[in-house]
Structure 1
């Protein structure tokens, strides 16, 4: 077995890698090269997502002071950076992950702002993860309560982000390219920060400005597959095809531009560079890893143990990194005993359970937006003595997993990763250090 380079303290080291990943994804570091030239007419900025307010601040700082600029963006509550405030782009806040009336009003206002644009005007749409919930305008015939009901069920079902967005797109008057149609005939330039496996702009926040290739029948199949209780009004809407989305090839999207300005991969590469500069070889397993959070944690633990015991597939010391978006399925019999926690924390529980206190392995799992689910932490840290310290406090990791209570478990150990909102979002970040 090898030793860590001199001066490497595992918890501080893994926290520094997470910080580097987040820093790489901040909009102020990624936007300049993608900004279009000002048009002969107006420039309207619209946006939605956990990073939307920070993106608006970055754009306003880069936009020529003598060129017209106005607009509206919506972000999650408490996700507006404190300074500098935008002067020409209004920012408002709404609920996530289940939409509220603030998100509904934001979508209505954006549609109104887009209603009188001309071919001489430009729309810059700023989008990041979280935009699906934050920009909510139910399709004709359904109301916010219907969408909230469906969203809550999907969140507990283990549905992937692509499946969730397929459904939300076909229950919306703004997603799946409909916002772009509202802006027609103005040119639309979309600047996106990706939080989805594969970085498909049509999936990021359900693609309000991107033509959609899924169908109403696809949405119905997702709902059936996950045993979602479908209100009669929503079933009728999807069965009829009345809420079908504009498709690729629609001429009204001609001339539009889409740029993904920050991705999970670029953040993982930034973390890997920092690790190597500190003398620790780094290996990226992938940036699009999906699955049940606890099972993904177990796989990472298995790889780490193979490295530790056999030097395969990597030699020690090293750090392995990954990204993507895991899920947490809360089954009906679990719902009454559910604790506090999100995907990253549950992944950390899976790692700790699988490692069973093996020496020489440490891990950190966190969400790059700084909020793991709906809690105040970004994620959690796992050490060789995690289970020993938990037992001394009377905590059992099996009970924490059964109750989905990663927050309570790691809070008691003082091993939560707490950053507050980071004002960006490239999804899950996982790092495992092996000596």
Structure 2
């Protein structure tokens, strides 16, 4: 039973926390351990002995029913809990790096000295409001705030359900309450073949035939740029796969459906990511290993590209090595934004590359979005589209779903038809057949 202590104007209650004192050899004794409190909440004292006694009874009820939170656990500081929580996660290196950065930059500096069990909903809402104000001042993006709040929510959910550091989460989501604020979405326009052609032309001037093929590959396969592209090795490209697949079981299973005399296809087997500062090959996002059939024109383009270089990577950088983070500042800005003639020597580009206004300040990822738009315009089934994009269909529909050869053949034919209709207009420029280039020297 709990017991109450009255000292002057203060009232304190103590109760058994379910543990026993251990001896010098680590064996439990018959002496009980007690927790105590001076009020129902931090900073709020008990008003009477009866209130304190009832509070102690409630805590002992929780002990008997396995619902108690030890006071020492609840007093764990956020600056300790955050890193203990991160160490317990089993995630890919890139996800771990993102979580670590968000904890270090925003969550630990703000919440570090707070005890996990003492964080209130009022305090959380005040922090959330301060982040909203930071977005209004353009200090951070709304997307960054959303991921911060999501991470904090995970921390609190695990503190309740997994680590028993508090009874309930201070993060309360009430979707129908408060002032409605429409989420700002990226402004997109339908992806037109003419826009893709402009990008591919610029990519050729920046990067040679490799760039030309790369842009058309994203637009006509929906591969995730840039991880899946930079992780595409020669043995998984359509001119060689599946005959060159190092996995004998997979190679034998795919031969009847793809490859020589069948549908040309590439295999999304890896994506390229940095791990500990080193470029490594890991599984695609969400383990979305998949086979992508190619329209004949793209298969011919890949065959010409592989014949023009000896790199193990289908899309090597200008120096012949694997593409890395330099794509975002040495390639893509000039592909979408162009380059005046005066910058040609400094950037080793061809003179005067025209900007693509439709893609001003846009991500290359929108080419993947455009591929999905084309599949939908051509009337393909949801199963065929999601499988090609590397997504899983949830529920019973996904259990019964299957991507059939006829579905893949339909995709291949409609994509080839889109290409033929575009070039049938007869007004578009195309590059010559590639030749092997000296490393680091763009073709002239």
TM-score range, shorter chain: under 0.3
Greater strand percent: which structure? Answer: 1
Q: Report the TM-score, using the length of structure 2 for normalisation.
A: 0.27
Decide which structure has greater helix share: 2
Higher relative contact order (CA 8 A, sep 6+): 1
Q: Highest CA radius of gyration, 1 or 2? A: 2
